[in-house]
A and B are shown apart, each in its own frame.
Chain A
Amino acid sequence: MLLAGGQGSRLYALTRNIAKPAVPYGGKYRIIDFPLSNCINSGIETVGVLTQYQPLELSDYIGSGMPWDLDRSQAGVHVLPPYQRNKGADWYKGTANAIYQNIAFIERYDPEYVLVLSGDHIYKMDYSKMIEAHKEKNADCTIAVIEVEMEEASRFGILNTNPDGSIYEFDEKPAVPKSNLASMGIYVFNWKKMRKYLIEDEQNPDSENDFGKNVLPAMLNAGERMFAYRFEGYWKDVGTIDSLWEANMDILNPKVPLDLSDREWRIYSRNAGLPPHYVADSAKVQNSSISEGCNVYGEVEFSVLFPGVTVEEGAIVYDSILMPGAHVGKGAKVQYAIVAENVEIGENAVVGERPEDVSDLKDWGVAVVAQDVKVYPGATVKAKAMIDADVKGDE
């Protein structure tokens, strides 16, 4: 069960029209490609995707599930928006409530175990190993954890465990963390247990119907067998502008252990169906990732270009992410920026700045231009700006 209903409000303008899992990442993917590909690669062939916020583009993208080989007659991917029942209709009130409202969907498959995922992270993980560990420990619930730096532990939901891996305490964003095992928001439940706790949680009027805040603590207090499962490897939250920018830059860094070209663990995505990209005589491309259908006549360095991007002659694109269909006009300068789908940047416009060119680093940050926005010729978008309407002058 993939929780894909979140707005991703910390991505601001980028999630104005689309749900966070539909946000483009890594030159040709969307965030949701990672959990979906992980599922099929782990042998999980029935996936419910719970949508709520701006579901149109996400539902379209998932479609029949064909790109992930999840178009099945007996299983496959199912998009599950909130729906109306004979006693009224509810939005998904929280993560637990979203699953609660789809108990009937899960029962159709009569599963032994249910895996709960989110569409917020970039990682490659074999869920079947986690489920295997869950079975071995005879657990009621297993939570995937990753070691984070001790200094950063207070930003995460921290799990405190006994030597055998069993959990004795949840510590949500602790001021003084006792361990550095952060919850990855990936849970395996025994379905019968999970069902019982979801129903109890729903009957509690004080509950926020959230896994982390309500359901998991309730299970722990009741003495259920709960274990942590350690994951090692690349795992990155892409919930903020900075982390999304960094995670994209990570694919350019050969030292970062995220191999997207691994044939044994492919990340699938819906294909744009464009010809190979063209790099012109006047172009200079270095240390960048360029996808199909791009036309590069200008200079591109340390950047990620999604399908169908055009960079015209004399334009400069440094340290930036250009999402599908973005167009950078002649002589324009794009630095430290995230430029969303189909944005048009006019000739000689300037978007974003390098940190070394800003007098006070407090004013510096990645500039963001939202989907379909037009930056007029000669206009300026400052560092850290968040643009969701056409720009004619300086903003």
Chain B
Amino acid sequence: MRKTNVLGLIFPNMHDEALRDLTAIRAFGSVPFAGRYRLIDFPLSNMVNAGVSKVGVVTKSNYQSLMDHLGSGKAWDLSRKNEGLYILPPFGATDESYSGRVASLAGMEAFFANSKEDYVVMSDCHVVGNIDYGKLIKAHTATGADITVGYIRGELPRLDNLMVLQADNDGRVTDITIENGGEGEGNFGIGLYVLRKDLLVQLVRNAVSRNQTHFERDILQRYVADLNIQGYEVTEQALVISSLASYYAANMAMLDGEKRGKLFLNERQIYTKVRDCCPAMYGLESNVSNSLVADGAIINGTVKNSIIFRNVRIEEGAELEDCIVMQGAVVFGGTKLGSVVLDKDVVVKESRTLQGYASFPIYIDKKSIV
């Protein structure tokens, strides 16, 4: 992939509150997904696949597991002498104004000044999709927009501060509303933006000087008439994660071969950290159907419609249906689990029964013993 003139920025803490359970111990971006991935892998791979070779990860809190996952950026081919991966923790962490995208951007002027790229592409981590950012970047330069806003057309997800757009026939955004817990259908923003770096710096300085913190409300909405803001519809399959139920549903969607195929493309791979575990082992008593199983798993029980992460052990006589079992969890025999999300290293002892529901899955904290 040819290098582009675009700098990448990823915001792994945006929407942390929407997945409160899973983000108590980690950033939204390091929430595990589909057996071996973390949510940040998707925007990060999308950037790398579009030829972006310098990416800043703008962290805010709980970012240890994220840093462990990202390492030097080697897995994304972002361990470079020039450019590469930069983790950008808060600048002046005690600053109370550190509450939104604007404040974090304001702390990054030095990073911007040290980057020779002229454009910036920004992304959050709550959308799982193999999205062609290259096409988005091209559209931005082709339309001559000041800012290009990626959006999805469809049912509005229940997210706080959801940006809903109206655009005219030429794609220019004419109206922006900020909604809490949207309803019905519409065009909603997904935290995906392309703009010139110098314009971004100027807009952020401007907002900071007025003590404004909210990128969507205080910049995009405010200047919708003055700036040429173009909408860009993301037409690739994109699964929006806005709650535990939608997180659960997005994982379960990966059991559908067609949907899985649209996410894991040969021409645009999704990269993630390599763990060097051995292949999954199926025992004589294993009975697995319609499930996704990662390397390092040991399966001797019954597993149906489930996502099994790396190094999970399912013992003989355990029965799992519609479950998500994260890395290192162990489920003993005689257990019956239905619609349960087991976080990392959970142990479920003999003969326990837990039954959730697809729209209300049971979530078990990391390292719990049931």
- Point out which of B37, B263, B288 has the most chain A C-beta atoms below 10 A from its C-beta: B288
State which of A66, A267, A285 has its C-beta within 8 Å of the C-beta of B74: A66
Complex CA–CA separation, A282 to B290 (angstroms): 8
- B276 and A268: CB pair below 8 A? yes
Decide if B361 is an interface residue (CB 8 Å cutoff). no
- A276 and B308: CB pair below 8 A? yes
Decide if A273 is an interface residue (CB 8 Å cutoff). yes
Stretch at the interface among A207-215, A288-296, A326-334: A288-296
Complex CA–CA separation, A187 to B289 (angstroms): 49
Decide if B23 is an interface residue (CB 8 Å cutoff). no
State which of A67, A260, A284 has its C-beta within 8 Å of the C-beta of B278: A260
In this complex, the interface size class of chain A, counting residues with CB under 8 Å from chain B, is 35 or more
- A292 and B295: CB pair below 8 A? yes
Chain A residues with CB under 8 A of B278: 26-28, 251, 260-261, 267, 289
The verdict on A277 contacting B34 (CB below 8 Å), with A261-B278, A290-B280, A290-B282 known, is: no
| Chain B: minimal CB distance from A308 (Å) | 10
Chain B residues with CB under 8 A of A292: 36, 279, 294-295
Chain A residues with CB under 8 A of B309: 276
Decide if A138 is an interface residue (CB 8 Å cutoff). no
- B290 and A277: CB pair below 8 A? no
- A289 and B289: CB pair below 8 A? no
Complex CA–CA separation, A273 to B53 (angstroms): 19
Decide if B337 is an interface residue (CB 8 Å cutoff). no
- B36 and A285: CB pair below 8 A? no
The verdict on A278 contacting B289 (CB below 8 Å), with A28-B295, A291-B280 known, is: no
Complex CA–CA separation, A295 to B264 (angstroms): 13
- Point out which of A266, A276, A279, A295 has the most chain B C-beta atoms below 10 A from its C-beta: A276
The verdict on A283 contacting B296 (CB below 8 Å), with A27-B278, A273-B269, A289-B280 known, is: no
Decide if A286 is an interface residue (CB 8 Å cutoff). yes
Decide if A271 is an interface residue (CB 8 Å cutoff). yes
Complex CA–CA separation, A269 to B298 (angstroms): 20
The verdict on A275 contacting B284 (CB below 8 Å), with A28-B278, A283-B289, A289-B279 known, is: no
Chain A residues with CB under 8 A of B74: 66
- A287 and B283: CB pair below 8 A? yes
Chain B residues with CB under 8 A of A282: 289
- Point out which of B34, B35, B281 has the most chain A C-beta atoms below 10 A from its C-beta: B281
- B257 and A285: CB pair below 8 A? no
| Chain B: minimal CB distance from A191 (Å) | 32
Which residue of chain B is the closest to A280 with respect to CB atoms?
B290
Decide if B293 is an interface residue (CB 8 Å cutoff). yes
Complex CA–CA separation, A271 to B74 (angstroms): 13
- A271 and B281: CB pair below 8 A? no
Which residue of chain A is the closest to B275 with respect to CB atoms?
A271
Complex CA–CA separation, A282 to B278 (angstroms): 25
State which of A261, A276, A287 has its C-beta within 8 Å of the C-beta of B293: A276
| Chain B: minimal CB distance from A373 (Å) | 22
B contact residues, total (Cβ < 8 Å) = 42
- A285 and B282: CB pair below 8 A? yes
Complex CA–CA separation, A251 to B279 (angstroms): 10
Complex CA–CA separation, A211 to B367 (angstroms): 54
Chain A residues with CB under 8 A of B276: 67, 266-269, 271
The verdict on A278 contacting B36 (CB below 8 Å), with A273-B271, A286-B282, A287-B283 known, is: no
Complex CA–CA separation, A289 to B299 (angstroms): 10
Chain B residues with CB under 8 A of A304: 279
State which of B34, B255, B272, B279 has its C-beta within 8 Å of the C-beta of A291: B279
Chain B binding surface SS class: loop
Decide if B143 is an interface residue (CB 8 Å cutoff). no
The verdict on A276 contacting B255 (CB below 8 Å), with A271-B274, A291-B295 known, is: no
Decide if B163 is an interface residue (CB 8 Å cutoff). no
Complex CA–CA separation, A277 to B290 (angstroms): 11
| Chain A: minimal CB distance from B71 (Å) | 12
- A277 and B280: CB pair below 8 A? yes
Decide if B270 is an interface residue (CB 8 Å cutoff). yes
Decide if B292 is an interface residue (CB 8 Å cutoff). yes
Which residue of chain B is the closest to A259 with respect to CB atoms?
B278
Decide if A151 is an interface residue (CB 8 Å cutoff). no
Chain B residues with CB under 8 A of A264: none
Chain A residues with CB under 8 A of B37: 275
Decide if A103 is an interface residue (CB 8 Å cutoff). no
Decide if A199 is an interface residue (CB 8 Å cutoff). no
Complex CA–CA separation, A273 to B41 (angstroms): 12
Chain A residues with CB under 8 A of B46: none
Decide if B352 is an interface residue (CB 8 Å cutoff). no
- B292 and A287: CB pair below 8 A? no
Decide if B286 is an interface residue (CB 8 Å cutoff). yes
| Chain A: minimal CB distance from B299 (Å) | 8
| Chain A: minimal CB distance from B186 (Å) | 31
Complex CA–CA separation, A280 to B276 (angstroms): 25
Chain B residues with CB under 8 A of A285: 282, 286, 288
- B283 and A275: CB pair below 8 A? no
Q: CB-defined interface of B259-277 with A at 8 Å, one 1/0 digit per residue? A: 0100110000111101011
| Chain A: minimal CB distance from B64 (Å) | 21
- A278 and B282: CB pair below 8 A? no
- Point out which of A28, A277, A287 has the most chain B C-beta atoms below 10 A from its C-beta: A277
- A276 and B35: CB pair below 8 A? yes
Chain B residues with CB under 8 A of A266: 276
Complex CA–CA separation, A280 to B305 (angstroms): 9
Decide if A356 is an interface residue (CB 8 Å cutoff). no
Decide if B291 is an interface residue (CB 8 Å cutoff). yes
Complex CA–CA separation, A290 to B295 (angstroms): 8
Decide if A112 is an interface residue (CB 8 Å cutoff). no
- B279 and A276: CB pair below 8 A? no
| Chain B: minimal CB distance from A26 (Å) | 8
Chain B residues with CB under 8 A of A251: 278, 281
- A276 and B36: CB pair below 8 A? yes
- B284 and A278: CB pair below 8 A? no
Complex CA–CA separation, A252 to B286 (angstroms): 13
Complex CA–CA separation, A289 to B293 (angstroms): 11
28 pairs, A vs B, C-beta closer than 8 Å: A27-B278, A28-B295, A67-B274, A251-B278, A251-B281, A261-B278, A266-B276, A267-B276, A269-B276, A273-B269, A275-B36, A275-B260, A276-B35, A276-B292, A276-B308, A277-B280, A277-B294, A279-B288, A279-B290, A281-B290, A282-B289, A286-B282, A286-B286, A287-B284, A287-B286, A288-B281, A289-B280, A304-B279
Tell me the A residues contacting B by CB distance below 8 Å.
26-28, 66-67, 251-252, 260-261, 266-269, 271, 273-292, 295, 304-305
